[in-house]
Amino acid sequence: MWQALYEEMADHGFLVIAVAMDSREGDALPWIEAAKATYPTLLDRDHRLAELYGIVNVPQAVWIDESGRIVRPAESAGAYEGFRKMNRMTREMPEDVARLTAHARTTYLDAIRDWARHGARSPYVFSAEQARVHLPTLTEDTATAQAMLRLGQYLIRHGQADEGHRFMKEASRLHPESWCIWRQGAGVNEMGFAAQPDFWERVDALGDKRYYAPVDMKGMP
């Protein structure tokens, strides 16, 4: 999806930079290599991107213009809740849910196309004040959680796994909205996805709350 969009909009000065936030050694590398992306693809094992931009889940995107200004802070990049309605054995979705999920993705990608073509004149670009309003709130707990994540990873990499995982667990407790932090200790299936029972238990525990935060964009569900 991103490779196709990058190739389509490259003549407009549009650049995709993908960042995998995976602290486990080597977990993301096979997927990065298999994608064969021609845009920059980075691996952020310390989640510095999450700390700087307030990213809590994947896929999320930050729109940054050619002057370096954030014109849309971190938000779900065309993702929707449809996976919560799918058959967990067959991975099939009801038709209406599949259509809504596809609509969310198309709407978001079309907004990016409009931005790439029209820049600051695009209706999808936030003003400086609007961008500030949409910035994630940084609290003492979230800042502490990011520090504990880094400390936990340091300890794990230096042979103190039990102590490291203790810090990782505390980081997730302090910042429960961050699926990125939680996912570092989650089980993964044979395809590398955090789709083991612990993931679904946590998703089901959301109840009526969204897994992907709503995106403030016309046409997005």
Q: What percent of the chain has pLDDT over 70?
A: 95
Cβ atoms of 193 and 64 closer than 8 Å: no
Please give the pLDDT value at position 188: 46
The tokens for 91 are: 């991975």
The predicted-structure confidence for 154-170, as pLDDT tens digits, reads as follows 999 999 999 999 999 99
Q: Which residues contact 140 (CB under 8 A, 6 or more apart)?
A: none
210-221: pLDDT as tens digits: 999 999 999 999
Report pTM: 0.89
Element (H, E) at 19: strand 18-20
Query: Identity (one letter) of the amino acid at 60?
Result: Q
At 177-201, the pLDDT tens digits run 999 999 887 754 444 445 578 899 9
As a three-state string, the secondary structure of 204-220 is: HCCCCCCCCCCCCCCCC
* Residue percentage of the chain with pLDDT more than 90: 78
- Please provide residue 11's backbone torsions phi and psi, each rounded to the nearest 5 degrees: -65, -10
The pLDDT assigned to 186 comes to 73
Structure tokens at 176: 């429960």
Q: At what angle do helices 2-9 and 95-118 cross, to 10 degrees?
A: 30
Say which residue the tokens 């602290």 belong to: 23
Q: Which residue has better confidence, 176 or 191?
A: 176
CA 78 to mean position of chain CA atoms: 10
pLDDT higher than 50, residue 121? yes
- pLDDT at position 190: 41
207: left (phi over 0), alpha (psi -120 to 50) or beta: left
Where does the chain have alpha helices with state H?
2-9, 29-35, 48-53, 95-118, 128-134, 140-157, 161-174, 179-183, 197-204
pLDDT at residue 2 in the model: 93
Q: Say what the pLDDT of residue 29 is.
A: 77
How do residues 24-74 score in pLDDT, each as one tens digit? 766 777 778 888 899 999 989 889 999 999 999 999 999 999 999 999 999
